[in-house]
Amino acid sequence: MAAAKFNTADHTIFSHNIYALCGDGCLQEGVSHEAACFAAHEKLDNLVVLYDSNDVTLDKMADFTQSEDVGARYEAIGWQVITVDGHDLAAVNDAVETAKTAKNGKPKLIICRTIIGKGISEIEGTNVAHGEGG
């Protein structure tokens, strides 16, 4: 809105991106789907969502409650989807740079595949790592 109101042909004052972080449980919420549909409909291509896809929700492993392909769902509603190893910071950075520069009329979803609790053998890859682990 600021760009539409204040930018001119001679002066670009506003050209920022909007970033959001989310996890598996966040994308189960109905409001996230409604917001995602709106963002795609409005062609908000400066919106970049980093999705920590670790297959864990607050109480259970995600496979107890969901079996959808989140990337396919977001592509179907009009998002650009990029999938990376979330533990590879260079890959995440490259994905963010790609998302920032792609002016294609699509919001961006960067799926960062991670292992929750990585490095703590007692809880690695389990929902216990969501908050109960030491």
Domains within the chain, CATH numbers bracketed: 19-130 (3.40.50.970)
Q: What is the pLDDT of residues 20-50, one digit of tens each?
A: 999 988 888 889 999 999 999 999 999 999 9
pLDDT given at position 17 = 92
Among candidates 60, 73, 64, which has minimal Cα distance to 30? 73
Q: What is the pTM of this model?
A: 0.87
For residues 111-127, give the mean pLDDT.
90
pLDDT tens across 56-111, in order?
Answer: 876 667 776 777 899 999 999 999 999 999 999 999 999 999 999 999 999 999 99
Nearest to 86 by CA among 74, 96, 98: 96
Looking at residue 109, its pLDDT comes to 98
User: Would you state the pLDDT for residue 132?
Assistant: 64
